[in-house]
A = this chain, B = another copy of it.
Amino acid sequence: MMRHLLLPRCAPRAAFNVQRSSSFGASVLRAARQYSIQPTAASDSKTLDIDPRKLVIERTGKPKALKDSKDLVFGANFTDHMLTIEWDKSTGWHEPRITPYQNLSLDPATCVFHYAFECFEGMKAYKDKAGKIRLFRPDKNMERFNKSAARIALPTFGPTNLIDLIAKFAKLESRFIPEERGYSLYLRPTMIGTQKTLGVGPPGSALLYVIASPVGPYYPTGFKAVSLEATDYAVRAWPGGVGDKKLGANYAPCIVPQREAMSRGFQQNLWLFGEEEYVTEVGTMNFFVVIRNKETGQKELITAPLDGTILEGVTRDSVLSLAKEKLAPEGWKVVERKYTMPELAQAAEEGRLIEAFGSGTAAIVSPVRSISWKGKVVNCGLKDHEESGETTMKMKQWMESRQYGDEEHEWSYVCE
């Protein structure tokens, strides 16, 4: 289908640094260690890396009409084109192609349909005041994309090569990116296994593709705080599992619990773990709380550590960095540590739970009003008329300032 590249190139490939442990009981969770298989970069000069110089562009003959910005629905409308790169194990990566947005034609035996050989990324392109297009920390997305792919025996690639191609793709779709604050182009890099046999094993071929959807602000009329249901009957992730990777496998199993929570009037699940009822994530976002320390009176921004059960959120990392930069000098403690639902409930009772929010690419931050837990309501610090806490609001502003390039910062990658 695709012609092969002629120049052999070095590509980072994944080898596995398997961390062995004799057991994973709830008690060992207290220690700060990694409970998942981690890929480490290894070079493989035998097959071809992604090569942006070989990009072939086929422009659409039927450009789509632009939707009114206010009618945009997350991930429901897509741009004119898509970026695709095929891979097979003997050649490596084939030439990248930008083509008109089109259906994929796949044999019904293709392994992505049977064994969930699939991983993805979520990232955004923003248009700045000068009309330039900017990606936000694409290096972090590429790093995670490679980790996810390697964890399910899909191929890895040189991160800067794909960033280069995504930048070209985003520029080509520039007319789809609204200029208003809060709007952006959501980019969805996806990798699927395409081997068309039913034997369970590493796929011998794969397809990497990127599609793009113009999106509006998550909260068009300003923040709206959500109510959560603390969930223990279903468990999102487990030590030794794949909850820290952005795999399709982590999503479908969460839909029924989400529907259950919604049927009881809660917008999202707060995923608990273990006998201790550790707080892990909220819905498909990382979770942060602001607590006043009982002994010292110090404000603490707390989130669960990257122990292998928590998605390594790019927004999570950005929130932590911003907090260290801007809140720590004001006397805050910024801490990644395990914390439990009983601890939150106690802090709330004592008036020390000041704020709670989720973090993710779609919403940036999402304020939380309350958590339903064991028949009681744990109030997360908002007054009845408030839809967001102060820190949540600040975080959104700080983040957007860098995303839209108001503040020149290394996190912002200008598509040249």
- The listed residue (B16, B105, B118, B374) touching A104 by CB distance below 8 A is B105
A24-B275 contact in complex given A16-B260, A75-B197, A259-B153, C-beta closer than 8 Å: yes
Copies in the complex: 2
Docked pose: A256 CA to B201 CA in angstroms: 9
Query: Are B23 and A115 in contact (CB-based, < 8 A)?
Result: no
How distant is A123 from chain B, measured CB to nearest CB, in Å?
13
Q: Which residues of B contact A200 (CB under 8 A)?
A: 251, 254-255, 258, 284
Identify whether the interface residues of A are mostly helix, strand, loop, or mixed: loop
**Interface residue total, chain A, C-beta cutoff 8 A:** 83
Query: Are A75 and B253 in contact (CB-based, < 8 A)?
Result: no
Give 1 or 0 for each of A177-214: 1 = CB within 8 Å of chain B CB. 00000000010101011000111111000000101010
Q: Please, which residue of chain B has its CB at the minimum distance from the CB of A251?
A: B115
Stretch in contact with the other chain, from A85-93, A239-247, A350-358, A364-372: A239-247
Q: Which of A235-271 contact B (CB under 8 A)?
A: 235, 238-242, 247-260
Q: Which residues of B contact A213 (CB under 8 A)?
A: 109, 198
Q: Which residues of B contact A249 (CB under 8 A)?
A: 116, 247-250, 252-253
A296 contacts B by Cβ under 8 Å:
no
How distant is A176 from chain B, measured CB to nearest CB, in Å?
15
**Residues in A lying within 8 Å of B, measured CB to CB:** 16, 18-28, 37, 73-76, 78, 82, 101-109, 112-118, 120, 150-153, 186, 188, 190, 192-193, 197-202, 209, 211, 213, 232-235, 238-242, 247-260, 274-277, 284, 374
